[in-house]
Structure 1
Amino acid sequence: MARVALVNMASLPMPGNEPIFPIGLRCVQDALDNSGHYTRLIDFVENPSAVDDLSWIAESWDAIGFTIRNIDPIDLSCDGHVQHYENFLNRVRQALGDADQPPLLIGGGPGYSLFADQLLARLRFDVGVVGPGEQAMLDILADLDRYRGAGKNITGRRYDGFVSKVLQHPKSLMETYTKFDGAMIGVETRRKTCYQGCVYCPYAYISGDNSGELKPLNLIASELRSIHASGIRRVFFTDGIFNSELRYAKEVVKLITELNLPQLTWSAYFTPKPFDDEFAELLAGSNVEFVVISPDSLDDRVMKLLGKTFDTRHVDRCLERCRRHGIPARVNIVFGAPGEDRESVRNSAQYINSKLEDGELVMHVGYRVLPQTGMARQLNMPDDDLVGPTFYPFHSDLFSWIIQDLDSRFMPAKVLINFMAARSASKRMTKVPLPADLQEAAPTEFPYLALSRQLPLV
């Protein structure tokens, strides 16, 4: 059996980084533990000194896995994380020294999966995993010499344990994350590719071939009981869309209600359809914290360009049902989509001003362009050019339009400060001429914005 260290790179102290509980890495660790391997999870929130004190590297590891959740904070005003990852991996190699048989270095995680070829070269892993990591890690550990120095990526595949084994997290790690204000933990109920075709979303690519599996309710129940016993009171179901299969979603909500875990609240990403009255009634009795829907625009033309399978009529109905049943809602809007213009901004703002209540709007500006998405294909940009924070084109007056059209109640001081930081950052970006065939799709003088302060690729 192998000795494996698993490093949560998302817990590195980096500007703009907000560490969250490492659910993906824990799934990998649990799979290795169940197969008899010895593992240790290195999390810099749980053990801050481990960032500088690399003494843990000197232990006799057969392999060290590094999970990368995000490449950057997907925020106009933030730099990328890749340079921080490079610096840390360089320090790890220095600490390893010139051992005759150094541990295998393995990369993985959702952020890694998106930029696997680029990060494999820059971070110099022996092997990387694209997609689900549990079974792939087991395969690698079964034949370490095969992958030593290979410099290649492999594709993750189905893991039987997802539907057969209870996932229970270490008490010490959960207690660490309960110290955050509003501590929340992710719970996975299914491994099924999102059926929507949003042009900005890489979810299907990250998920890989997952057979559309639904986690049995008894396993979900055991996981929720364990989370509650640790002191965590907020759960977020990490499914791409919680109610994509309404019948199963109703069963999960019924389970939450039947468990009746004191003070436990939960939330998830929802779609406005399917979302019937029975579902709303079940949600109302389950202590759901809020229903998060992401139309991303409230202009029907732009919603269609984004690939949404619903329009503002469905948003209307969903919000009406939520309000009738007393369910709090959050509506995610991202200005700067393909086709965004003066009229579409005005239409979205009018909807927000007239139909959303205080606290319901979650607003962002700028769409991060990610590989393997419709947006990247639209712009015909090579993946190498997307590693640095890269955003879809938007009109230079976009920020002014939003300020003019949106009620001040949706622009409190904190939002306004972040908004101004994003506008300032957008002015410092590199601008590239827009191809002629996209002039109508994106009314602006450039097809993407890449942060000019981003370090060049090496």
Structure 2
Amino acid sequence: MARVLIINLASLPMPGNEPIFPIGARCVEDALRFAGHFVRLMDFVESPQALDDFSWLNDAYDIIAFAIRNIDPIDLSCDGHVLEYARFSERVHAALDPKQTGGSRPLLVAGGPGFSLFAKSLVDLLGVDLGISGPAETVMLEVAADPGAFLGSGSILQGRRYDGFVERVLTHPPALMRAYANTRNAMIGVETMRRTCFQKCIYCPYAHITGNNSGDYKPLVLMAAEIDAIHGAGFRRIFFTDSIFNSQRAAKDIARLLGGSDFPDLTWSAYFSPKPFDDAFAGLLAKSGLETVVISPDSLDAGMMRNLGKNFDLASVEKFLKRCRAHGLTPMVNIVFGGPGETRETVRNTARFINENLRAGELSMHVGYRILPQTALAALTGLTEPDLLAPTFYPIEEQIVQWLIQDLDSRFLTPSVMVNLLAGRAAARRMRKIPATALRGETTDGFSHVALSREPA
């Protein structure tokens, strides 16, 4: 029987950080508890006083695990989170000094989606004994059976399938749910499947994070019970954390479930693909409390969409929008300017499509692609994990912002959008060059680029 402390580092107060309910850490906690281990989840939204009072570290733990969901803040005009994580881990190490603990110490472990991308670098930076890349439940159960066997190993274990995902209802502690239900725009995540994403977007590390999983789908009866508990705790907004919601084979059944009378006032959102997206599905979504139908073509220029690895085309986006209009659904289209091959003409083409097909409030727009390990974009630049630990972006033309101001209708250039665009331009201006020797070959537009990494302001 092991005593385990899980620290949700994503709940630390950091510039640009917006803590969200810690689904991943909760899954690991739930698995360990079900196996009979003692587990405590330290979350600083629930327990803000614990940031200053470290007395909670005085208990005798066999394992202390750092859960890292994100590496960067949502607001990319802020610096990354890595230094904050390192500073916090130093405080933990100081509190666990063997001189103060009688010579013994717990096994230190790190995991989570953000950690999985930079596992090699973060094992050293955080000074942990063990890293877990990918889904962590099964590996943590093995580690908890004999923590001493991993002390000082410095190794990284690959996460594997966990049977409990499809066998048991995931319920959350009432105190933790209350803490997050009281936050502004409170939303909680629900995981419906564990399946490698079928899309091939060049910037996305999702397939690496989830591992080689052919597909576990949470049974509808378990999902209904989980949502019922969430609704009962006061949450009225759910986000389905799947890579693509409509790749879920039970997507229509879930929409029917949410459209029933059991969850009054409940709304939800998720990431969708423009296909498959037929009229029958759109009709179910319209009755389900769906807030917005979020898709990410990232560009609305045909050539750029191919460059970015999209497995759908402009015609699919047009059909998707028509079905949304026909069924009274609100689409939200994510566009990120500045990918490989972006030119004055591709920006103009995307702006033209936006002006002709979208309404005010239906566009989410950003400038600059963060390069992450284990992606085609990283391979394109030749940059490795250590190069990318600091927020590193594919090089962009500073004129992009001016082009957008010229090309987009004024209804899309709201004050908040302008702040976002100007922040992107400011970030571009304070980037530093990485040596050109780091590059491998050319981009799809025929020009070699030097990747740029943002320096602190």
Residues 7-46 of structure 1 aligned to structure 2 (within 5 Å):
7-46=7-46
Q: Does 1:152 align with 2:155?
A: yes
> For residue 442 of structure 2, what is the aligned residue in structure 1?
438
Is 1:197–2:195 an aligned residue pair? no
The letter for the 1-side match of 2:327 is H
Tell me, yes or no, if the aligned pair for 2:71 and 2:114 is still in contact at 8 Å: yes
Deviation, structure 1 residue 394: 1.4
AA aligned opposite 1:298:
L
- The correspondence of residues 105-116 of structure 1 with structure 2, limited to 5 A, is 105-116=108-119
Q: Which moved more, 1:338-347 or 1:252-261?
A: 252-261
For 1:209 and 1:193, locate their aligned partners in 2 and report how far apart those are by CA, in whole Å: 6
How far did 1:253 drift?
1.2
SS at match of 1:258: coil
Change (3 A) 1:20 1:436: closer
Counterpart of 1:453 in structure 2 is: 456
Give 3-state SS (helix, strand or coil) of 1:430's partner.
strand
Query: Would you say the 8 A contact 1:292–1:329 is kept in 2?
Result: yes
Which SS does the other structure have where 1:31 is aligned? helix
Name the amino acid aligned to 2:124: A
Residues 307, 444 of structure 2: 8 Å contact kept: no
2-structure distance, mates of 1:436, 1:2 = 47
**2:416 corresponds to which of 398, 401, 414:** 414
- Tell me the equivalent position of 1:132: 135
Quick one: higher RCO (CA 8 Å, sep 6+), 1 or 2? Answer: 1
In structure 2, what is the equivalent of residue 236 of structure 1? 239
CA contact (8 A) 2:14 2:81 kept: yes
2:111 matched to 1:121?
no
Conservation of the 8 A alpha-carbon contact between 1:431 and 1:446: no
Q: Provide structure 2 residue ranges, at least 5 long, that are not aligned to the other structure.
A: none
Q: Post-superposition shift, 1:406?
A: 1.3
Between Structure 1 and Structure 2, how many residues are aligned? Answer: 452
CA displacement at 1:76 relative to structure 2? 3.9
Say if 2:443 and 2:449, in contact at 8 Å, map to a contact too: no
CA distance in 2, matches of 1:281, 1:45: 38
**Do 1:191 and 1:207's aligned partners in 2 also have CA atoms closer than 8 Å?**
yes
- The answer to which of 219-228 and 420-429 deviates more is 420-429
Q: In the alignment, which residue of structure 1 is the partner of 2:191?
A: 188
1:315 corresponds to 2:317? yes
In structure 1, distance between residues paired with 2:53 and 2:119: 28
Could you say which residue in structure 2 is the equivalent of 1:4? 4
Would you say the 8 A contact 2:380–2:443 is kept in 1? no
Q: Distance in 1 between matches of 2:261 and 2:115?
A: 36
What CA distance in whole angstroms lies between the structure 2 residues aligned with 1:402 and 1:278? Answer: 36
Maintained 8 Å contact 2:396/2:428: no
Matched-pair contact (CA < 8 Å) for 1:338–1:442:
no
Structure 1 residue 251 displacement after superposition: 1.6
Question: Which amino acid counterpart does residue 195 of structure 2 have in structure 1?
Answer: K
Q: For residues 145 and 212 of structure 2, what CA distance do their matches in structure 1 show?
A: 22
Output the amino acid matched with 2:88.
F
* Residue 393 (1) aligns with residue 395 (2): yes
Q: State whether residues 431 and 452 of structure 2, in contact with CA within 8 Å, keep that contact through their aligned partners in structure 1.
A: yes
Q: Is the 8 A contact 2:442 2:449 kept in 1?
A: no
3-state DSSP of counterpart to 2:250: helix
TM superposition shift of 1:450: 0.2
Give the match for residue 47 of structure 2: 47
Of all paired residues, the percent bearing the same amino acid is: 55
CA distance in 1, matches of 2:446, 2:180: 42
- Offset, 1:184: 0.5
Deviation at 1:436, TM superposition (A): 8.3
Q: 1:78 to 1:446 in 2, by over 3 A?
A: farther
Q: Give the aligned partner of residue 359 of structure 2.
A: 357
Greater displacement, 275-284 / 174-183: 174-183
Residues 169-193 of structure 1: CA deviation (Å, up to 9, x unaligned): 1111111111122210000000001
Question: Equivalent residue of 2:456, what SS?
Answer: coil
How far apart in 1 are the matches of 2:87 and 2:395?
31
Task: Return the offset for 1:342.
Answer: 0.4
- In structure 1, runs of 5+ residues without a counterpart are none
Instruction: Name the structure 1 match of 2:257.
Output: 255
* Superposition RMSD in Å: 1.5
Q: Distance in 2 between matches of 1:252 and 1:391?
A: 37
Instruction: Tell me if 1:294 matches 2:300.
Output: no
Q: Secondary structure at the match of 1:73?
A: coil
Q: Is the 8 A contact 1:243 1:275 kept in 2?
A: yes
**2:442 counterpart letter in structure 1:** L
User: Are 1:76 and 1:365, in contact at CA under 8 Å, matched by a contact in 2?
Assistant: no
Question: Aligned equivalents of 2:309 and 2:213: distance in 1?
Answer: 23
TM-score of the superposed pair, with normalisation by structure 1? 0.96
